[in-house]
Amino acid sequence: MSPTPPPYSEFKLALLGFGNVGQALIELLLEKELTLKDELGIIYRVVGIASGNHGAAINPGGLSLPEVLKSYRNGVSLDEFSELPISGSLEFIQNCGADLLFETTPVNYQTGQPALDFLRQALEGGMHAVTANKGPVVHGYRELTNLAKLRGLSFLFESSVMDGAPVFSIARCGLPGAKVISFSGLLNSTTNLILTRMENGESQEEAVAYAQSIGIAETDPRGDIDGWDAAVKIAALVTVLMDIPYTPDQVNRTGIRALTPDMIQEAKETGKRWKLVCTAHRDDSAPQGIIASVQPKKISPESRFFNVLGTSAILEIESDVLGKLALIEENPSPRSTAYGLLADFLNAVNHPLD
């Protein structure tokens, strides 16, 4: 007699955004398909994928992922795989019929749009909403979290800061009742890589080109160089970990643009390194009770930040009960970001948040 198969739960998934991260997510879903089924009893079907300018596809029976991925990378529009005509991202969300939407469109530091509307629409349509995009976290955390709760759904965003590292899960699940007093870190992989490569003799322009070639620089690298990416991550952490709504323009921000090869070499000769350091701490006398900054700083070897090189990142969280906790992520890639999205999916459907 053959053993009784375990009960499976099936989930329909849709992806809005099909760039570095969206494609890495499809690869990871394919790689983990059997693990999800055998170990967690989860079966998934990807019923929709949409890009901005390269088409969109909905297939309620499930898209053939290896075929879509291969064709898309060969320049075939997603439209070729659609069973329905789709005009625009909001219509895609309305009609995809998914249980969960992964949102991975480019960040908008100033308003979080249009991603904010996309995620709102997904939740209003009864889908869990998962994003790697920092914009809607900063500009819509409370609204989207409350909307998700109202509908018995989850709004999760683990990949939005430190790629797939479980920053928000640690705070949500591992620090109940604790008060986060401050945090500091190296949160922008691109500038950390640029500074490491400049120490090894490259110009800033050469180092930026390399970061773009491996798919880690933002669509517009000025966001990294001028500290906006770091500022929006600081704002996301203050908003979520400290529960104080905070925006990137409130962060005292200086990027790495003014750091010259001579300054980098001079620091090296004195045994130090330049790092783009993010900090935030509570201060009752400051507006909203927070002082936050991103600044290039010369770091000594005694600092935990000194040996965090290349695309690696570090976050040190200080709470009223545990003192300082540090999380280091070594050499993340779009695959690490994809894992954060996958983890959010599993957390949303395995342990729905109340």
Ligand X SMILES: NC(=O)c1ccc[n+]([C@@H]2O[C@H](COP(=O)([O-])OP(=O)(O)OC[C@H]3O[C@@H](n4cnc5c(N)ncnc54)[C@H](OP(=O)(O)O)[C@@H]3O)[C@@H](O)[C@H]2O)c1
Q: Is 312 in the site for ligand X (CB under 6 A)?
A: no
- Do 306 and 271 form a contact (C-beta atoms < 8 A)? no
Residue-by-residue DSSP string for 200-260: TT--HHHHHHHHHHTT-S-SSTHHHHTTHHHHHHHHHHHHHHS-----GGGSEE--STT--
Burial of 70 (0-12, 13-18, 19+ CB in 10 A): exposed
Residue-by-residue DSSP string for 240-257: HHS-----GGGSEE--ST
Q: Is 159 in the site for ligand X (CB under 6 A)?
A: yes
- Nearer CB in complex with ligand X: 89/312: 89
CB of 157 to ligand X, least distance (A): 10
Q: Of all residues in this chain, which one has the CB nearest to ligand X in the complex?
A: 19
Residue 140 carries which side chain, given as an amino acid letter?
G
> Applying CB under 6 A, which of residues 13, 42, 51, 228 lies at the interface with ligand X?
51
CB of 233 to ligand X, least distance (A): 9
> Applying CB under 6 A, which of residues 81, 337, 342, 344 lies at the interface with ligand X?
337
Choices 48-56, 266-274, 317-325, 344-352; region in contact with ligand X by CB under 6 A = 48-56
Instruction: At 65, list the tokens.
Output: 């992922």
DSSP reduced 3-state for 167: helix
Helix (H) or strand (E) segment spanning residue 305:
none
Residue 66 carries which side chain, given as an amino acid letter?
P
- Nearer CB in complex with ligand X: 10/67: 67
Q: Which residues, 6 or more positions from 336, have their beta carbon under 8 angstroms from its beta carbon?
A: 163, 164, 165, 329
In the range 54-83, which residues lie near ligand X by CB under 6 A?
A: 54
Collect contacts of 63-66 with beta carbons under 8 A, ≥24 apart: 65/26, 65/29, 65/30, 66/30
Q: Is 216 in the site for ligand X (CB under 6 A)?
A: yes
In the range 123-142, which residues lie near ligand X by CB under 6 A?
A: 132-133
CB of 104 to ligand X, least distance (A): 4
Whether residue 352 is preceded by a cis peptide bond, meaning omega within 30 degrees of 0, is no
Choices 31-39, 165-173, 212-220, 253-261; region in contact with ligand X by CB under 6 A = 212-220
- Nearer CB in complex with ligand X: 105/239: 105
Binding pattern to ligand X, positions 253-292, x when CB under 6 A?
Answer: ----------------------------------------
Q: Categorise residue 23: left if φ over 0, alpha if ψ from -120 to 50, beta otherwise.
A: alpha
Q: Is 112 in the site for ligand X (CB under 6 A)?
A: no
> Applying CB under 6 A, which of residues 35, 203, 219, 307 lies at the interface with ligand X?
219
> Applying CB under 6 A, which of residues 13, 14, 21, 276 lies at the interface with ligand X?
21
> Applying CB under 6 A, which of residues 63, 100, 107, 122 lies at the interface with ligand X?
107
Residue 280 carries which side chain, given as an amino acid letter?
A
Q: Is 18 in the site for ligand X (CB under 6 A)?
A: yes
What is the C-alpha separation between 76 and 300, in angstroms, rounded?
Answer: 50
In the range 163-182, which residues lie near ligand X by CB under 6 A?
A: 163
- Nearer CB in complex with ligand X: 154/159: 159
- Nearer CB in complex with ligand X: 131/319: 131
Contact residues toward ligand X (CB under 6 A) are 16-22, 50-54, 89, 104-107, 114, 132-133, 159, 163, 215-216, 218-219, 334, 337
